[in-house]
Chains A and B, each alone.
Chain A
Amino acid sequence: MKTIFLHGLFSAFLAGLAALIYNTVYSRAFESDFSAIINPFGIFASSIFGCMIASVGYYFFARRIKTHTDVWFNAIFLLLTFATLISVFSLTLPFTIKTPELFIGLSVPMHFFPILFWLSTKPLFNYNKPIRK
């Protein structure tokens, strides 16, 4: 369990860092300012939240599904990631933000960073052995 949470924290940190860099590059490239909605603290907090949910989810999922655990878990994680995009498309920003059209391009990739780093760092954390009850 400890390894799963470490994996979650590590991937959250990388996802947060990537999102922070992406936010900076995107804001400069498009001269957009979404600082009223997205700030570094929020980026890291949501990354940690997403990856911790994944960790807890994986822990309980692995206790129930003994075969093809990763296949099923990854599919559900991906599905839920796609589901979170609904919030991006339906979000109404403050009218002070002149270009809400650019918000989608900023936030959609960020929603995929947690699963991206979760999957890419998984080989570093060897917890695929059966979990004892």
Chain B
Amino acid sequence: MKNKITSFPVVIFATLIFSAFSFVHSLDWKIKEGYQIKFSSETQTGVLNSLSGKIQFDENNLPVSKFDMVVDAASINTGNGMKNTHAKGADFLDVAQYPNITFTSTSISKTEIGYSATGKLKIRGIEKEITIPFTFTNNTFAGSFTVNRLDYGVGSTEGMTGKASKELKIDISVPVTK
């Protein structure tokens, strides 16, 4: 009887600890195959084929939700070999020096049509704050936003690179699983 009484707080404590862990764990999502990162403008279109990172998202607990995403800049594919080489080169993304494009959210909030993630987008070593609106339906994150390449030092307004559109529309679709 005495044993039962003394072990009772231990059981309660262990239950609390494990439930806390399971709560934290339930925020985590794994990126599934089939994700798409498309960019488009008047002059160029393409995709980025490699995405990794950590997604913590709970629709009912947005303050602790967080995105920490990494895109391999060398995975850019415009559909044309010469354009790919140019895009990866020093004039544009300079993948040799800046291999990753990263996005780390600092806050996620609910909006009328879904959610918006505010955070730091880092391209070519230049970090800027950006807000990305997105939806989460059927275990798929989908968002669309615009980036000005000149803000991140990607290309210039002169020469051949000057002909490329400055504003790029980015469409993201990321299916996830627990």
- B77 with A92: CB separation less than 8 A: no
Q: Does B85 sit at the interface, judged by CB under 8 A?
A: yes
- A90: B residues at CB distance < 8 A: 80
- B47: A residues at CB distance < 8 A: 95
B48-84 CB contact bits vs A (8 Å, 1 = yes)? 0100000000000000000000000000011111101
Residue of B nearest to A101 (CB): B81
Q: Does B46 sit at the interface, judged by CB under 8 A?
A: yes
Interface of B, secondary structure class, is mixed
With contacts A95-B46, A95-B47 known, is A104 near B77, CB below 8 A?
no
**Count of chain A residues with a beta carbon within 8 Å of a chain B beta carbon:** 15
- B49 with A100: CB separation less than 8 A: no
- B81: A residues at CB distance < 8 A: 99-104
Rounded to whole Å, the gap between the CB of B75 and the closest CB of chain A is 9
- B82: A residues at CB distance < 8 A: 89, 104
- B84 with A92: CB separation less than 8 A: no
Additional A-B contact list (15), CB under 8 Å, known A93-B79, A100-B80: A90-B80, A93-B80, A95-B38, A95-B47, A97-B77, A97-B79, A98-B49, A98-B77, A99-B81, A100-B79, A100-B81, A101-B81, A102-B81, A103-B81, A104-B82
